[in-house]
Amino acid sequence: MTVGDLEALHAALVERLETDEAIRRAFAVHPRHHFVPDMIWPDALGLPLFRTSDPDRWACSVYGGDAVTTQANDGESGPRNEPSSSSSAPQVMADMIAAARIEEGMRVLEIGTGTGWNAAVLASLVGRKGAVTSVEVDPRVAAHARERLIATGVDVRTANGPPVGEVFDAIIATCAVTRVPDTWSAALVENGPLVLPWSPRPDVRSTPVVALTKRAGRLRGAFLREATFMRDRTQRVEHPPFPGLGRTPGPAGVVSVGSVEMIGAGNLPRLQLMMPGVRLGAGVRPFQGGHGRIVWMGDGEAWAYVWPDGSVTGEGERALGRESAEAHRLLADAGVDGMGAFTLEVAPERDAYRVACAALERWWDHPVGV
C-alpha cells in the first residue's frame, strides 16, 4: 500500500461525507492515516492488527468508514478486546462538528482527544484566529495524539482535564456520559453548543448523539443520530447479568408487534429513551427449532423477552413486553422514525434529565444518579 494509494483512499472518504463544503475541506487536509496508530484492534476477539504485517487490511480498516479501535482494555490484556480509545466514524464526526456550529475564530473544547484526528479537523475550521483545546485522560493515548499533531503541523493545546476558569464557544465530547459533568457546562459560554453522546443508563450500548445549547444554566437540545461511543472513564459501571439469565421464563402474554419488526424499524434506541430505568437490547435465542432475534429488557427483578411472533416471556411486576410494544405503536402511529424528534433537557438542580417528544406529546424523566 503506497502513500499515493492512501491519499486516494482518503480523498474517496472525504468525497463520501454528507456534510457542507467547509467541513469537507477541513477533513481533506488531514488524512486519517496520519493519525491512526500502526496497531489497531479490528475484532472483539483475537490479536491486534499491525500495519507492517498486513498494510492492505490496515488501510481497509482505516478507510472503511467505520470507527477504528486504537486501544483495548485501557492498554492492558483481557479476554475480550474491549475498546477504550478509537478514531470515530468520519460521518459521525462530521455530523457532530456541524451540530456544534464550528466557525473561524471560535474557542473549542474537545473532550476525548483519541488519535488527534478530530482535533486537527477542528483546528482547520477555527483557523489561526481561533483555538482548540483537547482533553485526554489516558497518558499513552495523549502522547500519541500530541506526537501526531506536532508531526502534521497542527496547533492544538492538549490537557488532561478541562482548563479551570476558561470558557469556550463550543464543546464536543467524544465519550459517552449519563450525567453531564458540571465542569463541562461551566466551561461553555451562554448560548453555546455542547454536542455529546448520551444515554439514560451507563450500562447500555446505545449512546445517541445530542446537540445541547446552554441557556440560563440549563442545557437543552435535540438528538441528532444513533451512535455507539465508549464511556467517560469516570462513569463506567459493571454491566449487570443478562436479564433472566439462569431463570425459567414464564409466559407473560402476547403483544401486537414481534421482535423482528421492532429491531427492523430501528426503534430500540428510541424505546430506550421512552422507558426510564429499563436496560434494553437485542439478542439471539433458540426459537421454534432454530434461532430467532429477540428484544430483551430488564429493570431490577423485572425482565422480559419479546419473541419474533410477538409472544412475551419473563417475570416481574413491570410489564416490560407490553410497555415496549405500546411505545413501538406510538412511534409507528406518529410516523416517528428518527432521533431528531426527541429532545433532552439537563437542569443542574435535578437528579433526573427530561427526554421529550413533541410529536408524541409525551415526556419521560430519567434518573441519572451516577
- Quick: pLDDT tens for 195-205: 999 999 999 98
Q: Are residues 22 and 102 in the same domain?
A: yes
The CA distance from 320 to 304, in Å, is 6
Q: Where are the alpha helices (DSSP H) in 211-283?
A: 259-264, 268-274
Sign of CA dihedral 338, 340, 341, 346: positive
Closest CA to 307 of 297, 317, 316, 298: 297
pLDDT for 286 equals 73
Q: Are residues 286 and 203 in the same domain?
A: no
In a domain, 362, yes or no: no
Closest CA to 85 of 264, 231, 222: 231
Q: Which residues pair with 297 in a beta bridge?
A: 280, 304
Examine the pLDDT at 245 and tell me if it is beyond 80.
no
| Cell numbers given for 177 | 456520559
What's the rounded mean pLDDT across residues 258-270? 94
Closest CA to 50 of 62, 38, 65, 35: 38
Count of CB atoms situated within 10 Å of the CB of 330: 18
Range with the lowest mean pLDDT among 225-229, 322-326, 350-354?
350-354
Examine the pLDDT at 210 and tell me if it is beyond 60.
yes
In a domain, 13, yes or no: yes
Residue 126 is part of a domain; what is its CATH number?
A: 3.40.50.150
Q: Are residues 131 and 259 in the same domain?
A: no
Last residue within a domain, chosen from 203, 235, 267: 235
In a domain, 228, yes or no: yes
| 283 close to 263: Cβ distance less than 8 angstroms | no
- At residue 142, the 3 state secondary structure works out as helix
Q: Are residues 69 and 104 in the same domain?
A: yes
Q: Are residues 208 and 122 in the same domain?
A: yes
Q: Are residues 259 and 231 in the same domain?
A: no
In a domain, 105, yes or no: yes
pLDDT for 77 equals 87
In a domain, 359, yes or no: no
Catalytic residue (one of 85, 86, 88, 185) = 88
- Quick: pLDDT tens for 309-346: 999 999 988 999 999 999 999 999 999 999 999 999 99
The H or E element spanning position 97 is helix 90-99
The CA distance from 86 to 36, in Å, is 9
pLDDT for 151 equals 97
Burial degree of 18 (CB within 10 A; 0-12, 13-18, 19+): exposed
Per the structure, how many domains does the chain have?
2
- Residue 1 — very low, low, confident or very high, per pLDDT cuts 50/70/90? low
Identify residue 196 by its one-letter amino acid code: L
DSSP letters, 186-215, are HTB-TT-EEEEEB-SSTT-S---EEEEEEE
Q: Residue 88 catalytic? A: yes
In a domain, 323, yes or no: yes
- Quick: pLDDT tens for 131-156: 999 999 999 999 999 999 999 999 99
Identify residue 184 by its one-letter amino acid code: W
Q: Are residues 265 and 228 in the same domain?
A: no
The H or E element spanning position 145 is helix 139-151
| Cell numbers given for 103 | 466557525
DSSP 247: S
Q: Are residues 283 and 165 in the same domain?
A: no
Q: Are residues 50 and 173 in the same domain?
A: yes
pLDDT: which is higher, 44 or 234 = 234
pLDDT for 289 equals 61
The CA distance from 35 to 121, in Å, is 11
What is the overall mean pLDDT for the chain?
A: 93
Examine the pLDDT at 362 and tell me if it is beyond 70.
yes
What's the rounded mean pLDDT across residues 341-362? 94
In a domain, 368, yes or no: no
The CA-based diameter of the chain, rounded to the nearest angstrom, is 65
Q: Are residues 179 and 92 in the same domain?
A: yes
Q: Which residues pair with 218 in a beta bridge?
A: 215
Last residue within a domain, chosen from 170, 205, 235: 235
Examine the pLDDT at 351 and tell me if it is beyond 90.
no
Q: Are residues 26 and 110 in the same domain?
A: yes
In a domain, 355, yes or no: no
Examine the pLDDT at 242 and tell me if it is beyond 90.
no
For residue 329, give its domain range. Answer: 250-334
Q: Are residues 218 and 275 in the same domain?
A: no
